[in-house]
Amino acid sequence: QKEVEQNSGPLSVPEGAIASLNCTYSDRGSQSFFWYRQYSGKSPELIMFIYSNGDKEDGRFTAQLNKASQYVSLLIRDSQPSDSATYLCAVRQSSGYSTLTFGKGTMLLVSP
């Protein structure tokens, strides 16, 4: 069973701080990695994807990938209360129809 692991949290940060969310995966052949944000009672929303080692920046969000360590992270700079949500890490499998395997998510709480 290919696994994706995330700390469940909650991760609490003050407004304006950097929030760091982490994810590890077991399928060494995985090629693409995704971060989804899910507000309570809503559907997951794709915010970032990354497929090359290193950093990828999009506004206040930075995704980091280290395939050798099988580790992917999401940094949120200048955190806002509106960033409070559950963040899901997803890994596209290397076999079959390349389905996504999701972690259970990390809850982020940003306090004003």
**Options 3, 45, 55, 58; binder of other proteins; rule CB under 8 A:** 45
**Options 17, 24, 51, 70; binder of other proteins; rule CB under 8 A:** 51
Phi, psi of 81 (to 5 degrees): -55, -30
Angle formed at CA 112 by CA 78 and CA 84, multiple of 5 degrees: 65
**Options 23, 72, 88, 91; binder of other proteins; rule CB under 8 A:** 88
Nearest to 77 by CA among 22, 19, 9: 19
- Residue 43: partners with Cβ closer than 8 Å, 6 or more residues away: none
Examine residue 32 and tell whether it contacts other proteins (CB under 8 A).
yes
Examine residue 97 and tell whether it contacts other proteins (CB under 8 A).
yes
Binding site for other proteins (CB under 8 A): 31-32, 34, 36, 42-46, 49, 51, 88, 90, 92, 97-100, 102-105
